[in-house]
Structure 1
């Protein structure tokens, strides 16, 4: 089948470019000569037309060692919480990279702040990039930095990556494990939820522990969204969503983006590229059963995880859609999963900010 237009819920291309630290890496992204899962050439080949470009402030001593995520069970040691000065420097650095990509792309990539911006980018054959934060360590308890980042284009935020911060407690990488680990939101976290609602910023629940999830569900007036998570019943890693969580997302008319990270797909919880597309499709089947056809999307985690070898990188996305076509999904449903459901939930979440003056 002809590959549909793809809008993706999560990628870590900015982190990859930031960690490289060179102008050559940015140039390679634009030219399609770099090693990552995403660049402008691979994206065009797979009809990957945009998505949430995550800012993830890295820990000075590294994050998760994927080699630990092996069959038989694991409990990955998480880095210590970040200092705000370090997190702000990294956040500004990655945001700058996205704007440099826009500037250097000759119109082939645009930073988008509304669904109208996304559609306008697509009308001119440009990639639509949305600024997203994964882990709010750069934001102060008074939320002044949130207002600054929103003005710069921030439209989606995960309060935590799996390490804890002043707002919430992340869910660690454990297998097998429930996501019910640790306390819920702090008072500062509750203020962050309310201010994101006021600004129309999407709240991403993907790395939040279960108590935090339920706090957001109680406080937020927006659809519940997990940009890159899978089904706990099929892969019992702590990062995945339980049936009860999926039911709450469905009730809110929210969305879950299928995470391509193999450790969150496989029954054995292993980060192993030798993973079939059929394993991905089983999660999509279960997500559709739990959320309905309007609640399922993609959240690849490109450039941030080991993904199934049959996909490989953004250019391999048509293989997934071919599998869905053979499964009998039908073109209309495939279009919803590929981009339609993301645009719908973003239209219902992004709104004019509330002026508190």
Structure 2
């Protein structure tokens, strides 16, 4: 499903499963196209989207998420939902895992648990799909749910989605701000990192606060990875990574996936889609400068964010590749950014 003369794209993050579980779209619409989401199979074929991490995310009981319309002032600090009850989060996760399996049965995705499987699927008729947990709200202290989800294909986990969990503290939707907010991993959170290491589940640093990142760095035996985060030096948002954090990731041989969310790209922090692609290139340049050519990929946040209007959805991804070429990126580097670096870090994290 790759356009001529362009490498297939493997992506660090999307929220399609949330759109399915909330009834905003259906498996048939994702298969056939014409639905309201940024991701579907026809758009994937048109845009050269070979696959990515598909997130399980549990909404709060009142369905509240930060109101992105409030992210348009010179500064903002959006209130976050409170701690989510474990049982409600687990029910949500099970619904979304079921949706994931329905997508596979419909031929939309090919579930993958190894880098070799991803590589084999990138140019195939279905999207390579890795199951990711964004916020470990549904995981119990004895890790029963973690082990079941692992058996169902879970291979990536973020301890938090911004709101607090028993495991860690997340960063708010605050601008301008750093992520130096609150305490790091709890003792349970440290146990969670060790258990994920044992199981071969990648730990995602996105949404984790600064002290939490430091704690993961001190504990993990795997490369540090932020699946969908940007450079704080360009956009001083709490969700973005400082140069010190980027250097930590580089020292571990890890990587960062460029987040397409407008507010985390724009220097003014506003969630507005009129973001020139040159701003994305500025972030890529900065990330490559700190992490090296082997430490950067893409982490779009499709179906979870307002993205630059020149891209819009999966079908618009060739515009970003064209911007890379215009900026002087060679074809070998473009291939690494599109999928090669993800395959490399996943081989080193998962062992295959």
Deviation at 1:126, TM superposition (A): 2.5
Looking at structure 1, the residues matched to 159 and 129 of structure 2 have their Cα atoms a distance apart, in angstroms, of 20
1:118 corresponds in structure 2 to: 118
**Once structures 1 and 2 are overlaid, which stretch shifts more, 253-262 or 52-61?**
52-61
1:76 corresponds in structure 2 to: 78
2:342 corresponds in structure 1 to: 342
Looking at structure 2, the residues matched to 116 and 267 of structure 1 have their Cα atoms a distance apart, in angstroms, of 38
Q: 2:119·2:343 contact (CA, 8 Å) conserved in 1?
A: no
Looking at structure 1, the residues matched to 124 and 314 of structure 2 have their Cα atoms a distance apart, in angstroms, of 20
Looking at structure 2, the residues matched to 146 and 183 of structure 1 have their Cα atoms a distance apart, in angstroms, of 24
2:326 corresponds in structure 1 to: 326
Alignment of 1:34 with 2:38, yes or no, is no
1:355 corresponds in structure 2 to: none
Looking at structure 1, the residues matched to 123 and 236 of structure 2 have their Cα atoms a distance apart, in angstroms, of 41
1:281 corresponds in structure 2 to: 281
1:49 corresponds in structure 2 to: 50
Looking at structure 2, the residues matched to 54 and 122 of structure 1 have their Cα atoms a distance apart, in angstroms, of 19
User: Per-residue CA shift, 1:76-124, capped at 9, x if unaligned?
Assistant: 000011101100000010011010010012xx42111111211232364
Over 3 Å counting, the alpha-carbon distance change for 1:245 and 1:116 in structure 2 is: same
Q: 2:10·2:122 contact (CA, 8 Å) conserved in 1?
A: no
TM-score, scaled relative to structure 1: 0.96
Alignment of 1:59 with 2:48, yes or no, is no
1:19 corresponds in structure 2 to: 22
Q: 2:8·2:122 contact (CA, 8 Å) conserved in 1?
A: no
1:240 corresponds in structure 2 to: 240
2:131 corresponds in structure 1 to: 131
Over 3 Å counting, the alpha-carbon distance change for 1:89 and 1:178 in structure 2 is: same
Looking at structure 1, the residues matched to 123 and 259 of structure 2 have their Cα atoms a distance apart, in angstroms, of 27
Looking at structure 2, the residues matched to 351 and 81 of structure 1 have their Cα atoms a distance apart, in angstroms, of 34
User: Which secondary structure does the structure 2 equivalent of 1:20 belong to?
Assistant: coil
Q: 1:3·1:46 contact (CA, 8 Å) conserved in 2?
A: no
- Please provide the CA RMSD for this pair: 1.2
Looking at structure 2, the residues matched to 256 and 132 of structure 1 have their Cα atoms a distance apart, in angstroms, of 16
Aligned residues: 348
Over 3 Å counting, the alpha-carbon distance change for 1:123 and 1:308 in structure 2 is: closer
User: Which secondary structure does the structure 1 equivalent of 2:110 belong to?
Assistant: strand
Looking at structure 1, the residues matched to 118 and 125 of structure 2 have their Cα atoms a distance apart, in angstroms, of 11
